Every structure is written in structure tokens, then in C-alpha cells.
Amino acid sequence: MAEPLYHRVLLKLSGEVLAGEQGFGIDPKKASYLAEEVKSIYDLGVEIGLIIGAGNIFRGMQAASKGMDRVTGDYLGMLATIMNAISVQDALEKVGCETRTLSAISVSQIAEPYIRRRAIRHLDKGRVVIVAGGTGNPFFTTDSAAALRATELGAEIVLKGTKVDGVYDKDPLLHDDAVKYENITFTKILIDNIRVMDLTAITLCKENKLPIRVFNINNPGDLKKLVLGSKIGTLVSE
């Protein structure tokens, strides 16, 4: 069997992926699909940290633009990430992946507190670690949380699973002539303001020489293929 390219990864998924065709909330069938995708690399012996956004339930910035206090909106978004995390944990355990959810905000009845050493211990024991609650602070996105936790936990790469198969010079869903990048540098993303992750996340990855691979999580098998070395999606690096 082929050897995986990475020993430890941080998989960042957008919350919208969990919504499925309904476009909102949590679709159990989509959670099961994601669990099978994660299991495909879990079975290779890859250590997996997982962060899921909240866009299928709540977006703090959108709520703030409509009059809600930004801090309040961000905390609601953090709670939404916990809901997503617990649903994916349930789906992962149903397919035989031992999983722990660690939250940056205290919800002791349903998740362990996020403590770096505890998270690393779970990874060392071969458990999937879902990190919920963002960074635990308002004004930081789950992209920033992914960059931060990947750095803290010693991940070799951030795998950003979205509904688009890589990074383009403009939105491919709106422009037929959009050009896809096979490789792109952090510097070009920052200079051209290309939307891959927010600027805080990109800067953190750049400073820590942590590459990002953007791919379409809705393509079955792509996650496993890229972990085994296939050049799927777009690689963001120095």
C-alpha cells in the first residue's frame, strides 16, 4: 500500500459542506459522507485534526452587518461550530474512527476543553481531534483558528476542503473564464487579495512556513488521493 505524504494534517472544512442540498443546517447524510472521506485517510494511519466552520448555521459578520453586536455574533458562531463538531464526531464514530471534540469555549457536558498537550496526546493515540469553538475569541474566523491550531499541533499542512476545486484568479462559480492556479505563493495571495483564507490565517501560515492545499471535498476520494501525493487542487506555499 502506498505511503501517505503526511503524518499529521489539519483538515479545515467549511460549514456549508455539512448543509448538503438543503443549504442550511446539518444534513446527516452529508455528515456521513464526510466521515467516510476522513476515514479513508484515518485508515492510512494519518493523524487528523479537524476544524469545521459555522456558515451552515450562523455567520457572526453577517449578523453584525444587520445590527447585531459583532462580539455577540462571533460567540454565536462559535456555538454553531460546536454543533457541527458534535454531529461530525457522531458520524465518525459510527464508521469506526475514535474521535474527541475539544472546544475553545467551555461546554464540559459535550466536549473536552481545548488544551494543546491534551490534543497532541489524542493525536498520538490515533484519535481524530475535532477542534471546536474557533480560537475562543471574537474577531477571529475558523480559518484563523485552523492556521493557529495547525501550527500549535505540529501539522505538516492545512487541507482546506471547500466546494471549489482549488484557487482561481476570480470566482469560478460566477466567471467562466476564471483561471485555476496549480501552485500559488502566500505573497501573491496577499498582494492580489485572492480569497483563499482570511489575511490573519494566510499571514500565520506564511510566517510558520505551513503550506495549504485547497481542494473540493465534495469530490469523493480526492482527500485520500492528495494525502497519497496526487496534485489535486491548489498548493499554497512560499
Q: Give residue-wise pLDDT tens across range 77-112.
A: 999 999 999 999 999 999 999 999 999 999 999 999
β-strand partners of 183: 235
The domain segmentation of the chain, as residue ranges, is 8-237
Mean pLDDT score, 45-71: 89
Residue written as grid cell 499541533: 153
Instruction: With beta carbons less than 8 A apart as the criterion, state whether 9 and 37 touch.
Output: no
- Amino acid 63: pLDDT: 78
Amino acid identity, residue 215?
F
Quote the CA–CA distance of 104 and 88 in Å, as a whole number: 17
Contact residues for 62 (Cβ-Cβ < 8 A; gap 6+)? 73
pTM across the whole model: 0.94
Of the spans 14-23, 167-176, 181-190, which averages the highest pLDDT?
A: 181-190
CA distances in angstroms from 14 to 109, 138, 164, 188, 231, listed in the order given: 25, 18, 11, 23, 21
- Amino acid 202: pLDDT: 97
Mean pLDDT score, 222-235: 96
Mean pLDDT score, 25-53: 97
Confidence of residue 135 (pLDDT cuts 50, 70, 90): very high
Confidence of residue 20 (pLDDT cuts 50, 70, 90): confident
| Level-2 CATH architecture, domain 8-237 | 3-Layer(aba) Sandwich (3.40)
Contact residues for 4 (Cβ-Cβ < 8 A; gap 6+)? 41, 44, 45, 46, 227, 228
Lowest mean pLDDT among 46-50, 57-61, 83-87, 152-156: 57-61
Q: Please say if the pLDDT value at position 166 is more than 90.
A: yes
Quote the CA–CA distance of 24 and 33 in Å, as a whole number: 17
Confidence of residue 1 (pLDDT cuts 50, 70, 90): low
Amino acid identity, residue 67?
G
Higher pLDDT, 22 or 161: 161
Q: Give residue-wise pLDDT tens across range 200-214.
A: 999 999 999 999 999
Contact residues for 122 (Cβ-Cβ < 8 A; gap 6+)? 100, 102, 129
Contact residues for 195 (Cβ-Cβ < 8 A; gap 6+)? none
Higher pLDDT, 173 or 113: 113
Nearest to 196 by CA among 172, 214, 216: 214
- Amino acid 66: pLDDT: 85
β-strand partners of 168: 180
Nearest to 235 by CA among 156, 123, 150: 156
Quote the CA–CA distance of 101 and 10 in Å, as a whole number: 14
Mean pLDDT score, 228-236: 96
Instruction: With beta carbons less than 8 A apart as the criterion, state whether 141 and 134 touch.
Output: yes
- Amino acid 65: pLDDT: 80
